[in-house]
Amino acid sequence: MLNRTVSPGTLFARHAETQVRAALEDTRIVAIVGPRQSGKTTLARRIAVDDGRPFITLDDEQFRRFAEDDPTGFVRSQPVAVIDEIQRAPALILALKKAVDEAPHPGRYLITGSVDLFRGALSPDSLAGRVDTIELLPFSQAEVAGAGVPEFLDRAFADDFPNLALTGPTDDLIERVISGGFPEALSRTVPSRRRRWLRAYARALAERDVPEISTVGRHVEMSRLIDHAAVASGQLLNLSALGSHLAIDGKTVDRWLTLLEHMFLVRRIRAWHRNRLKRLVRTPKLHFLDSGLLAALQGTGPADIARDRGKLGPLLECFVHAEIAKAIVLSDETTAVTHYRDKDRLEVDLVLERSPNQVVGIEVKAGGTVRPGDFRGLMRLARATGDRFACGIVLHDGDRIQRTGPGLFAMPVKMLWAS
pLDDT at 270: 96
Cα dihedral angle (253, 257, 245, 201), rounded to 10 degrees? Answer: -150
pLDDT at 120: 58
Cα–Cα distance list, 143 to 12, 40, 140, 362 (Å): 7, 14, 5, 22
Separation between Cα atoms, residue 57 and residue 42, nearest integer Å: 12
Separation between Cα atoms, residue 309 and residue 298, nearest integer Å: 15
pLDDT tens per residue, range 181-240: 999 999 999 999 999 999 999 999 998 888 777 777 677 889 999 999 999 999 999 999
In three-state secondary structure terms, 99 is helix
pLDDT at 2: 46
Q: Would you put residue 123 in left (φ > 0), alpha (ψ -120 to 50) or beta?
A: beta
pLDDT at 371: 95
pLDDT at 341: 95
- Identify whether the C-beta of residue 167 lies closer than 8 Å to the C-beta of residue 399: yes
pLDDT at 4: 54
In three-state secondary structure terms, 16 is helix
Cα–Cα distance list, 111 to 38, 58, 148, 330, 413 (Å): 15, 11, 25, 19, 34
Burial class (CB in 10 A: 0-12, 13-18, 19+), 130: middle
Separation between Cα atoms, residue 133 and residue 179, nearest integer Å: 27
pLDDT at 357: 81
- Weakly modelled stretches of the chain, pLDDT under 50: 1-2
Q: What are phi and psi of 219, to 5 degrees?
A: -65, -35
- Per-residue buried b or exposed e for 84-117, using 16+ beta carbons within 10 Å of the residue's own CB: bbbbbbbebbbbbbebbeeeeeebbbbbbbbbbb
Write the DSSP string, 237-288.
Answer: P-HHHHHHHHT--HHHHHHHHHHHHHTTSEEEEPBP--TT-TTB----EEEE
Cis peptide before 138 (omega within 30 of 0): no
Which helix H or strand E contains 31, and what residues bound it?
strand 29-33
Q: Looking only at Cα atoms, what is the longest distance across the chain?
A: 66
Q: How far is CA 158 from the centre of its chain?
A: 24
pLDDT at 92: 93
pLDDT at 212: 76
